[in-house]
Amino acid sequence: MGRVVAWIEKQPAAAFALFCAIHIVIWTLLPSVLYPNLPLDLNEALNYGPEWQLGYDKLPPLPWWLVETMHQLIGTDWSYYLLAQIVIIATFAIIWVTALPLVGTSGALVSVLIADGLHYYNFTAPKFNHDVIQLPFWALATFALYRALRTGRLWFWVLTGFALGVAFWAKYFVPLLAIPMALFVLAEPTARRVLATPGPYVAIAVGLLVASPHLVWLITHDFLPLKYVDDRFSEARSAWDHLKWPGIFLAGQLFWLIPSFLIALPLVQPRATSHSKPADRFDWWYFTTIVFLPAILLLVSSLISGRRLITMWGYPFWLFLGLWMVMTARVLIDRARLERVVVIWGIVTICYALAFMVDYLVMPFIGTHYRTSLFPGDRLAQEITQRYQAVTGRPLAYVIGDMWLAGNIHNYGATHPRAIIDGKLERVPWVDPSDLRARGAVVVWTADDRENLPPPYRTALEQGAQIQPPFDLPMRWGHGTVKVGWAIVPAK
């Protein structure tokens, strides 16, 4: 290990590149081997992406466009996991570039390794979604604003606006970054001086320009995706919710940060006999604001509203936590400390990889926890397609069901039928109702009652639906059976 650390010290850029290669290989290979079925978020992306809409009923379109692009270029499941890791590595590269002038090469590498200790960026990142795609733009905006404030160059203000604008296409979380940025500029005396320059206003203009096509779509569609959020996360049911939800979120963040804390442990143990130069006050407060204030704002919003928070919403908050720790510790990262950090990071990475393998190779045969990645999507698509054609003599063009079932039939079916999500045409405005009626469809559901249409599908759309004999499918491996009910909506 001593030779490895010596090489890292001599060739820090090469060491960072090696880290990136290791990360990509591990976290592309494992899901490619152990995910026989696409997980929920990628299944959803392959249903929404081909429509190339400026907006959808649920979330912004950027990740779905990227998945569809990868589908057109390569079209295999492993390419989507590779896409996720390319995004993660791009994020780490921005952290690296940001940290270099602040904490040096060893400190920059340690900053990235600490970040990689968080499972958001490895274990769960293959399920490429809106949480993942926002990361590089969150990091880029942080880097660009810092450089804009430090150098005054207009280019960095343009880059700040661009990053925030694209982040809006990724996830509607960008205000949680933009507000702390604005507060820092207003509160910090040195930063406040930029308000007398064109820079901040150029950044605002660029951000609005980049976000404007989707923003206009939101306005003209009555902010439709926000209704989805409102329906999913209802108002508080009791006073206890105002404490419960932020408490659970905070506890979840601290728990999942434990591996990162372990990787950072050599920064404080053993105690340093000498310290590096203290971090510049401006720099330290800037990254303190970026790291902690977004999470505080989210917690306060839940404390006030009592609305539920999802642990995974913490994805972007801790990108620069490693850098903040290095700046705060003020320890000289000598060869011994760097070696400990690298060893602990290696152990953490191995543990994550082993946990991933156990979760998909062992636990399906022990527990009853449902794993979407082991769903028999290909068998379901094959059975529905063949049975529909055997009865009607027609190729399957439309499938009515929830996103998961209909999406799997779309993705794995030979004819790639369009999904009518939840049987609601308003969720799929790109579908021509007259074509749907002319070509017919199938309705698919999973429930104990497979002899009657579930209530969500008992609408005018399904009038005349003919219930078909149900069938069962085993999960790809492990315990579990999928009980499938289906019906044919005849062509008219």
At 199-208, the pLDDT tens digits run 999 999 999 9
The reported pLDDT for the residue numbered 231 is 66
Secondary structure (3-state) at 1: coil
In sequence order, what DSSP letters do the residues of 341-385 get, joined into one string?
Answer: HHHHHHHHHHHHHHHHHHHHHTGGGT-----GGGS-HHHHHHHHH
Q: For the stretch 118-145, what's the b/e string if a residue is b when 16 or more beta carbons lie within 10 angstroms of its beta carbon?
A: bbbbbbbbbbbbbbbbbbbbbbbbbbbb
Dist. CA 199–CA 166, nearest whole Å: 18
**Are 279 and 102 in contact, with CB atoms under 8 Å apart?**
yes
The reported pLDDT for the residue numbered 259 is 97
The rounded mean pLDDT for the chain is: 90
Question: H-type helices in 35-174, by residue range?
Answer: 40-48, 62-73, 77-116, 130-151, 154-170
Per-residue pLDDT tens digits for 58-80: 899 999 999 999 999 998 999 99
The reported pLDDT for the residue numbered 336 is 85
The reported pLDDT for the residue numbered 236 is 66
Helices vs strands, H then E, count in the chain: 19, 5
Residue with tokens 């399957």: 396
Q: Is the pLDDT of residue 228 over 80?
A: no
Secondary structure (3-state) at 415: coil
Q: Which two tokens stand for residue 172?
A: 């509607």
Per-residue pLDDT tens digits for 133-159: 999 999 999 999 999 999 999 999 999
Lowest mean pLDDT among 225-234, 384-393, 460-469: 225-234
Dist. CA 342–CA 348, nearest whole Å: 10
Q: Regarding predicted confidence, which is higher, 222 or 145?
A: 145
Dist. CA 241–CA 232, nearest whole Å: 15
Domain coordinates of the chain in residue numbers?
Answer: 2-363, 375-489
Per-residue pLDDT tens digits for 92-136: 999 999 999 999 999 999 999 999 999 999 999 999 999 999 999
Q: How many CB atoms lie under 10 A from the CB of residue 437?
A: 15
Sign of the CA dihedral running 231, 237, 243, 244: negative
